[in-house]
Amino acid sequence: MYILGLTTLGDSAATLLHDGEIVAAAEEERFSRKKHHSGFPFQAVQFCLDYAGIKLSDVEHVSLYWKPWVLRHKAVQALKSRFISREMYRARVGRGVTQVRDNYLQMFRHAARLREHFGPSDFRFHYLEHHLSHAASAFFVSPFERSAILTLDGTGEDTTTLFSAGEGNRIKPLKRIKLPHSLGQFYSAVTNFLGFDMFGGDEWKVMGLAAYGEPEFYDFFKSRVLSTNGNYDFKLNIRVLDHHLAKHYQFSDEAVKSLGPPRRAEEELTDRHKNIAASAQRVLEETVLYLLRGLHEQTGAENLCLAGGVAFNSVMNGRIMTETPFKRFFVQPAAGDAGCSLGSALLVHHHKLGRPRGFRMEHAYYGPSFTSEQCADALRAAGVKFETLPDEEMLPRVARMIADGAIIGWFQGRMEFGPRALGNRSFVADPRRADMRELLNHKVKLREWFRPLAPSMHAEHAESLFGRPHYDPFMITVLEVEEARRAEIPAVVHVDGTARPQTVRRDVNPRYWALINEFAKLTGVPVLLNTSFNIQEPIVCRPEDAVRTYLGANFDALVLEDHLVVR
């Protein structure tokens, strides 16, 4: 049985299941080349069908991660904002009208849209709750038979945070926190206060910048903006910091008085800005740790699954792993809204159809792959000279180039699902070079100097680097690097002594493991610097994307499957 899952707002995506296992999954942005693509994922759906070798008529169920008729609570919140300020009311109503017209009403046409575009089919269409889709995307592919589940994001329908318990093929909601109280919206508002762009997904920048600051404004955020109570709950004071006003870079007098003026996009980053980031990050972390103590008390579970956009906060995840009562922790690689295409499909499979679980997600490689000949055609079409080499020649040669300082665009196998490049669409380089972060951020990636870069490493060596057993194939957790080891790999150790590792198993990604191994033979270091293969656009998908990036950027060599291009 085939089930097709969809997300159609920001980070639109499609996932195809066959008998409960992932066949294919991809974000629409990889095909459209528009970051955080919002709209129907026509190309992602086409890829899923093509990869499976089926037609839409072979799909029995289609799921969507949203119930578009759930509007009452949002409408009430918009009306209440009249009593706070005229500007807040206008921002909420304007946004609400646009969402209903351009997004929610369009959802009622998705079934017809599929049939119009892909041909006739008698599938059954399901509208499913957003946060339950998040919960399903984590728990049902986790290694756990029983688990506590926490999902947290900006909002889905009217819920921003959901406490759940998963057991077998069922998920039971336990508690909801609703708008306007939202951890995702709090962090997005801080993102714009710092002159970044929440619509561009710049929350990453706040997390990276936080490591350079001190929590000078912690007391203000904790007492006046994001507070907790005795019921394992939290409140966001929108009178002081409001997400909807922040979208327009408008902030309350109290926020400006307490934090100083908001930063303009072109303004230099100062210690004050770093300290604002550090303070907001600290408050977010401690609020989530507080919620998890309550979830643990309520469930008594040893395992925890996490999903939603806030689950991408890898610094927070490191503290969850080391400071909560939970013994085991799982976050899948597409924890944000794209992953709800997976979660909604799994809800149909397990909740609607009652099918048992049997699938475990051990990698993220569910996107398109391309043959050697397709890669060669892309190179020839661009007039690029290349060599074709067997791996016994390719891997030692590329490892030597990396050890000698080269930055490599590495393209192999199926594209990753989710925002992390995990060795199939990556830039790879030498982590031993202290200047490599600046070279990649400034000269290649064309982005801010403070953005951290990550290590890909042999899974079997993780304990020696972090002082504790650790397995994270999805690069979702930040941990402290053993102090004695930091000087060995300075390019992937952040200013606070931490790193966000991808642990690579030989049986999961044998070719990437082998490349790391060749580098280790030369250097004694079983680690490569890894960052996403993209420059101010979505991660490359097709060989043509990789070749275009190579021709327009400043890095040393390109590997497309078994083809090598060297400048």
CATH of residue 231's domain is: 3.30.420.40
Whether residue 234 is found in the same domain as residue 381: no
Residue whose structure tokens are 């109290």: 254
Q: How far is CA 255 from CA 78, 193, 226, 277, 536, in A?
A: 21, 10, 13, 14, 31
Whether 550 maps to a domain, the answer reads: yes
Last residue of a domain, one of 352, 383, 417: 352
Backbone angles phi, psi at 44, to 5 degrees: -65, -40
Range of the domain at 555: 372-566
Q: Are residues 249 and 116 in the same domain?
A: no
**437 CB burial (10 A radius; 0-12, 13-18, 19+):** buried
Record the pTM: 0.96
Residues 419 and 316 occupy one common structural domain: no
The series of mean pLDDT values per 10 residues for the chain, 567 residues long, is 96 98 98 96 98 98 96 82 84 79 91 98 98 98 98 96 98 97 98 96 96 98 95 96 95 98 96 98 98 98 98 97 96 98 98 97 98 98 98 98 98 98 98 94 90 96 94 96 96 96 98 98 98 97 98 96 97
Which tens digit of pLDDT belongs to each residue from 337-353? Answer: 999 999 999 999 999 99
How many domains, the chain? 3
Q: Which of 503, 162, 486 has its CA nearest to residue 306?
A: 162
| Separation in Å, CA 532 to CA 25, 75, 227, 314 | 18, 40, 36, 16
| Judgement on whether residues 196 and 300 belong to the same structural domain of the protein | yes
The verdict on 243 and 342 lying in the same domain is: no
What is residue 57's predicted lDDT score, i.e. its pLDDT? 98
Task: Give pLDDT, residue 88.
Answer: 84
- How many residues would you count in the chain? 567
Give the DSSP letter of residue 416. Answer: B
Write down the pLDDT at residue 443.
Answer: 86
Among residues 116, 96, 24, 10, the alpha carbon closest in space to that of 345 is found at 24
Backbone phi and psi for residue 63, each to the nearest 5 degrees, phi listed first: -120, 145
Contact partners, residue 330, CB within 8 Å, separation at least 6: 138, 142, 143, 144, 147, 303, 304, 305, 306
Report if residue 558 sits inside a domain: yes
Instruction: Give residue-wise pLDDT tens across range 108-167.
Output: 999 999 999 999 999 999 999 999 999 999 999 999 999 999 999 999 999 999 999 999
DSSP E strand boundaries for 157-237: 159-167, 170-178, 226-228, 234-236
- Domain match, 389 and 321 both: no
Nearest residue to 513 (alpha-carbon basis) of 525, 505, 501, 522: 505
What the block records as the tokens of 550 is 């190579």
Residues 387 and 339 in one domain: no
Q: What is the CATH number of the domain that holds 393?
A: 3.90.870.20
527 and 389 within one domain: yes
pLDDT score for 304: 98
- Are residues 389 and 344 both part of a single domain? no
**What is the structure's pLDDT at 111?**
98
201 shares a domain with 137: no
Distance CA 454, CA 428 (A): 10
Is residue 480 a part of any domain in this protein? yes
Q: Are residues 394 and 286 in the same domain?
A: no
Please check whether residues 312 and 396 belong to one and the same domain. no
346, 20 in Cβ contact below 8 A? yes
* Angle subtended by helix axes 372-381 and 543-552, to nearest 10: 40
Q: Tell me the CA distances in angstroms from 527 to 496, 504, 509, 513, one per residue in order.
A: 19, 10, 15, 10
Q: What pLDDT score does 435 carry? A: 94
Residue 529 token pair:
């610097």
